[in-house]
Each structure stands twice: as C-alpha cells, then as structure tokens.
Chains A and B, each alone.
Chain A
Amino acid sequence: MPVSQKKNINRAISGWLIMLPTLILFAFYVWEPLLKIIQMSLYNAQGFTLTEFVGLDNYKSLLANPDFTIAWKNTFMYTFWSLIIGFCVPILLALLITETPVFRSLTRVAVYFPNILPGLAVMLIWLFFFKPGNAGVLNNILATVGIKPLTWLSAKGWTIPLIVVTMTWRSAGSTALIYMAGISGINPEQVEAATIDGAGIIRRIFSVILPSLTGLVKVMLILQIISVFQILYEPLMMTNGGPNNASISIMMLVYNYAFLHFDFPKAAAVSVMICIVLSLFTALYFVVSGRRGKE
C-alpha cells in the first residue's frame, strides 16, 4: 500500500475517533429517542416496558379523544397569536433601536435582558401581574386610572393571547438583535443612493431597509412557528392548560399522557405527529434559508 494512502486512512480513522464521543451523545440524547418514540407509538405498554404490537391503535384512539382536537386547535391559536402579536415587535424594535438618537446601546441591552431570566421565574412573575381581583399588579395599575379589575388569564378568550404576550416580552429582544445585525449588514451606499434620489427617511425604510430584510424575515417566521408549535412550559406553569382546556397545547398533551397518566405509547404517538409537522416546517426552513444563501 502506498504511504500516502495509508496516511489518508489513518487520518480518516483519527477524524472519526474524534467525532465518536459527541456522536454517541447525539445518538443517545437526540437520534435514538426520536426512533424510540416511533416504535413506542405502535405498542401497548405496562409502565416502562412495551408489551404488544398494536399497529396504529394508539393513533386511532387519540383521534377519538376530544382533548386531542382541542390541543391542536389551541396550538394553531398560539401560532396565530404569536404571528399577530409577536412577529412584528422584534422588527419594530430593531428599526427603533437603529434609528433612535440616544439610548441606543441601553435599549439594546434592555430588550435582550429578559432572555437571560429563567423562563420559569418569568412566568411566576407574570402570574402575579395577571392575578385576578384587587391583588393583581395589572389590576392595581388599572385601578389608578379608574378601570375595574379584569380576570386576565381566567377569561377564556384572553388566555392564549396573554400567554403569547409574556412570551413576546421574554424573547422579542433576541430576535430584534438578529434583525439589527441584518440592518447593519445593509450597504450604506444603498441608503445614500436612495437619499440622492429624493427619498425621505420613511421612504428609505420601506424601499431600502425592509426589502433587504425579506430573506431574514422569512427565516425568522419559520423559526418562530417552529418554536411556538412546541409551546409547553408557559401553559403548564401559568394555567395548567385551563380554564377548562382553553390553553392546553399539543406538547402539554404529551406531558400529561406521559407524566400524569404514565401512558407512554399515547405520549409517543402525539410526539410522532408533532415531529412530522415540525419536519415539514424544517424542510421549508432549509429551502428558504438555502435560497437566501444563494441570493
């Protein structure tokens, strides 16, 4: 065997040996569990052990469960409201922080700040703000302007939008930073050329800055849908799915099946469905972001 070929084989082996420990971790924590939930969803189980193969029975009985339909509907409502409330906020923040004459770095740091707070702590704080009756912080604030106390999260139509508001409060800042980086990547000459053509500052935003962000906006849109689709902690902590299942999400259904009823196959079946939907979104993400890379 020629020396160079032997050397190549050695290099390949050492490369794979370096990858191996991390690949084992990925297999153990990410890939194998994904395969396992597919398998589990097709079986009956007694506690932790799988007993008999039942085919698609778990899926069938899920479809007959009214909670299942409600959870999907709610998950779409979360996504809908997060697009209404949460999607524009980071773009507006990024534009604002780019254009403000003072407080630029202070606001930048401030909007990012809630991101580093543990989600759990944030939800507990907001629970006190949304408390119904006179003890609630927001009701106190409303009282000073003479508005009667509201019931906030316990009012059926309000639960999902309010949860989305707290999510936006916590995470809008980090998305805004990404948009800001996008804005600062725009060639300044483009803006100046528009100025020479007589465009005012508003016109420049709409005809130069926003159009150059389109690719980024599409990517962030899909990423946001993906992340809202898995919403679990917020309803679990803030409302426990209530009032009367009004805020139960599809991931929360997984949690309830697995850790309240210990019905692992059903939990797995719901997870598989979520993974299928998320895989579709992921494929879309790669199409959009790949196209953006080529542009």
Chain B
Amino acid sequence: MTDLRYEAPATLEAAVALLGGAGGVARVLAGGTDVIVQMETELVEPELVVDIKKIPGLRAIAPENGGFRVGAATPAMEMVEHAGLCRAWPGVIDGVKLIGSIQVKGRATIAGNLCNASPAADSVPPLAAAGAVARVVGPAGRREVEVAKIPVSPGKTSLAKGEIIESIFLPARAKNSGDAYERFTPRTEMDIAVVGVAINLTIDGSGVCVAARVVLGAVAPTIVVSEECAKAIVGTRLDEAALEKLAAAASAACRPIDDKRGTIEFRVKVAGVLARRVALKALERARHIV
C-alpha cells in the first residue's frame, strides 16, 4: 500500500473522472468500513481511493416526492436517528440497525453495504423489498437502477468502471402498508446473517394483502426477490394456510451454501420460519402505519 493515492474531489464529475481514469485498482471511500478493512488485511491493494464525502449533498437525507433520497455518504446512524425515515420504512431501519456496532454504523453507509455485494448484507433485502432505486453516475451519465439489480455475485456488482452510486431513493410509503426485516444469527449482535428475510406489504381496508415484495438474504449468491413468496400471501389475510404456503415458498427459493454458520438444511428450514414471522410483523405495521 506504499504508493496509494488519496483524492477527495468536490464534485461527482471529478470523482467519476478519477475512477474512470485509474490504471489499477481504484476504490470509492465513503464510510470505509469495508474498504479500509480490505486494505488492512491486504485483500485489496488499491492504487487510488476516492473519498466522496466532500461532494455536496452526498451526506444528506432529503425528502423527495413523499419518499426520501439518502446520499451515498450518509452514515447508518444518521438514518437510525432520522424520525421520518424510521416512521416510513421501519423494515429498512431494522436492517440498517443490524449492519454492525454503533462505531461501525457511525461510518458505514447503505450504498457501501450494497456495493460490498455480500449476499448476507442486512440492509439490502429490506431496501429491495421497499423498491428502493439507486442513482448511478458514471462516464456515460446518470441511470436509475433497482437496488436488487446492483449485486450480481458475492463481491461483484453490475456497476461499470468509473460508476458510483450517488444516492438511494426510498419511495413514498403506500397507505396501509408496512415492512420488516429479521435475520437469524447465533448471537444477538455483531454477527453475520445466516438467513435474512425482508417483507414489504400493503393491505386494503378489509385487511386483505393486495401487494407484497419478499426478499431473502444469505441463502443464495445474491439476495433473492421471490415472486412465489409474494403470490403466497397476496389476496389473503395472512391466515395460517397463507403463512404455510409462504414458508414453503421461502424454503423452496433458497440455494444456500453449507458453511460453519449454517448447513444447507438449516438455512432452508429457517428461511421458512423467518418468512412467517416477518410477514406477521410487516402486517402489524401495515395496520398501524397510515
């Protein structure tokens, strides 16, 4: 790491130009909670780090069209402390709260959690369930990309060379809807998800589920957005039969690995158990969020 270059440009255009023009390995530095660890452990030896925190607007949570735009350099703790965001998207906040210790969340960002492209990232399933959209800026201009389409395999994203996530947009919260995220870990804190499930659903005036997005984490090389799970609960009141179908669909959607934190059999079973719990929690919130 002796010939590392550090740049902190004042504009996105300059950041894109630096990253696009880099000859060797270049990394975006926002919270640094993945990048600096990778540098310390010599997993990645970049020749250039581009600190995006001096770019105006990137460290902000701004209301937009009834939703919120979260700048890519906004630390997780600022999201957790944002009353409006917590009210609108409690399931996203469930995930953000689990990203790491208070210290790590003082720096870590959801854009970084997304770009680290771990299938076990805790904020990614609820962001995908919420229908969050990443604004990507690069040498070819701006594009809007669904959060679910950013990670393509462990550690790999669909971003091209020189592209940066500028912000993540959480849409307006639909009426009578709620979201939730839970994960299984052997410890209650400071651990990596063995299985995670996020559900965002909407009910009508009579309590029937009219829309749902169900996203599984840590059970495949990327998060899994499961249409089958959504179909199991849409049109129902989340009665026992619907929850049974949901659990079966969640288990069927898993393509997990066997590792020291969980066997394939265990992950498949737990995905179903968590899906039921999370659906009921999202339903409870949908009844109370107007």
The answer to whether A and B belong to the same complex is no
Binding site for B on A (CB under 8 A): none
Binding site for A on B (CB under 8 A): none
